[in-house]
Amino acid sequence: MKEPKHFQIEVNIDKFRHSHVLELKELFDTSRGSTEVKIDFNRNSQTLASLQIKDPWGLDVNKKFQDKLKKLPGVEGTLLQ
């Protein structure tokens, strides 16, 4: 059995606004899958909070999803493991 993938998103909270949260939710809603997600909310390279999303709320982390995600202001990095 294949191990589940993990996807990490780094968000700069000084650039990420409430409207971006709604855009992120919409993107997540259209990309359901089994990949677990961890979102780190950072300021000055320090993680202030983290949010973990596990199956059944995981994501299908494909190239299209990653391209849309990287266009959101405040998203400063991603890592798929």
What was the pLDDT predicted at 55?
Answer: 80
Residue 49: CB atoms within 10 A of its CB come to 11
Q: Where residue 56 falls among pLDDT bands split at 50, 70, 90? A: confident
pLDDT digits (tens, 9 = 90+) for 7-54: 999 999 999 999 999 999 999 999 999 999 999 999 999 999 999 999
Is residue 1's pLDDT more than 70? no
Three-state DSSP class for residue 72:
coil
Closest CA to 40 of 66, 76, 4, 5: 76
pTM score, whole prediction: 0.88
Give the start-end residues of each E strand in 1-81: 6-12, 32-43, 46-53, 59, 75-80
What phi, psi does 61 have (nearest 5°)? -90, 85
DSSP at 18: H
